[in-house]
Amino acid sequence: MTRYLMHQRLNCIAIAALFLTGCSTFSKDGGFDSVSSVAAERLHKDAVYVKTDEDRDAVLRRTQELLAAPLGMDDAVQLALLNNRGLQAAYAELGISEADLVQAGRLPNPGFTFSRTHWSDGFGIGRTLSMGVLGVLTLPVATRIESRRFEETKLETANAMLAVAADARRAYRECGGRGAGGALRGAGEGRGAGGRGARAAHASGGNFSKLDYAREQAFYAEAAARLAKARQQAVATREKLTRTMGLWGSATQYTLPERLPDLPKDRPQLAGLESFAIKTASTFRRRNCARKASPPRLA
């Protein structure tokens, strides 16, 4: 009778667990579709999660197509979305978070114990089947918490993708501005070199005083120092842009336009900008998911 009741209890627990929890499985996209939709809607760019050799070859072909012509700002953003290694690592966090969600929705493994005991006039065989009842009862709560954490990870990944795009735009503007400024300073230095030779000839002939000639020398020495600093900053900003776009090897020999694009003639429409920013800001949505995912506090 006792053995029969034990079997009935186990059957009731298994049936209750099936009703309390659904079948948790991995999705086809791993949560990446939500990130790619943000890139398409807000940036009008393609976000690619490189998982196979075919994906890597497709990204390489797209990168070579974009680098064949002088690089524009939109091209720099697209290259960053395709090749940035930190962004690919953030995409991998989606799979880890979904694995935690699937694990939280699965039943805990049962335990089976088999024992054989001897005593003076015989022996006994014991068989025990056990299962964590507390883990079964808390499955719905754990699934809801991991589901909200998965949504939070999606928002964090989308925010990381937008941050990389913003960094690429900022680095492109800095690189274009530094390059144009360095070219102008170099042209001025070239024109001033001929003037220094003429002034040196005049100074040797007594047409310039030594004080005026020393002032001229100090002025051109300062100009040369500023030119060297501008060239160093241009190299640093180009390296920053290269790192943001995730380029290496021969791909770093890309060309940039001689000047930045002109500003738009018409001012952008800013009506309802604050409400749009609050509605679409991933930071607020991520904090809301984090607040909902945190376990309730006991009074």
- Which pLDDT tens digit goes with each residue over 252-288? 888 888 777 777 777 777 677 666 666 666 555 555 5
Q: Is the pLDDT of residue 108 over 80?
A: no
Could you tell me which residue, 76 or 194, shows the higher pLDDT? 76
Q: How many domains does the chain have?
A: 1
The answer to whether residue 220 is domain-embedded is: yes
Q: What pLDDT is stored for residue 3 in this prediction?
A: 54
- What is the rounded distance in angstroms from the CA atom of residue 212 to the CA atom of residue 192? 16
The answer to whether residue 260 is domain-embedded is: no
CA distances from 252 to 67, 117, 138, 184, 261 (A): 9, 73, 53, 24, 22
The residue written with tokens 């913003």 in the block is 166
- What is the rounded distance in angstroms from the CA atom of residue 5 to the CA atom of residue 11? 10
Per-residue pLDDT reduced to its tens digit, 111-132? 888 888 877 777 788 888 777 7
Could you tell me which residue, 183 or 218, shows the higher pLDDT? 218
Q: Is the pLDDT of residue 104 over 70?
A: yes
Q: Which among 232, 233, 222 is positioned nearest to 189, based on CA atoms?
A: 222
| Domain enclosing residue 85, as ranges | 2-249
The answer to whether residue 286 is domain-embedded is: no
The answer to whether residue 285 is domain-embedded is: no
Q: Is the pLDDT of residue 220 over 70?
A: yes
Q: Is the pLDDT of residue 27 over 60?
A: yes
Could you tell me which residue, 289 or 116, shows the higher pLDDT? 116
Could you tell me which residue, 102 or 20, shows the higher pLDDT? 102
Per-residue pLDDT reduced to its tens digit, 197-214? 555 555 565 566 777 767
Could you tell me which residue, 264 or 4, shows the higher pLDDT? 264
155 and 35 Cβ atoms separated by less than 8 Å: no
Q: What pLDDT is stored for residue 63 in this prediction?
A: 94
The answer to whether residue 196 is domain-embedded is: yes
The answer to whether residue 269 is domain-embedded is: no
The answer to whether residue 263 is domain-embedded is: no
In the chain, the percentage of residues whose pLDDT exceeds 90 is: 19
CATH code of the domain containing 32: 1.20.1600.10
Per-residue pLDDT reduced to its tens digit, 131-179? 777 777 888 888 888 888 888 888 889 999 999 999 999 999 888 766 5
The answer to whether residue 299 is domain-embedded is: no
Torsion on CA atoms 58, 61, 62, 65, rounded to nearest 10: -170
Q: What pLDDT is stored for residue 181 in this prediction?
A: 45
Per-residue pLDDT reduced to its tens digit, 45-97? 999 999 889 999 999 999 999 999 888 899 999 999 999 999 999 998 888 88
Q: Is the pLDDT of residue 14 over 60?
A: no
Q: Any idea how long the chain is?
A: 299
Q: What pLDDT is stored for residue 10 in this prediction?
A: 52
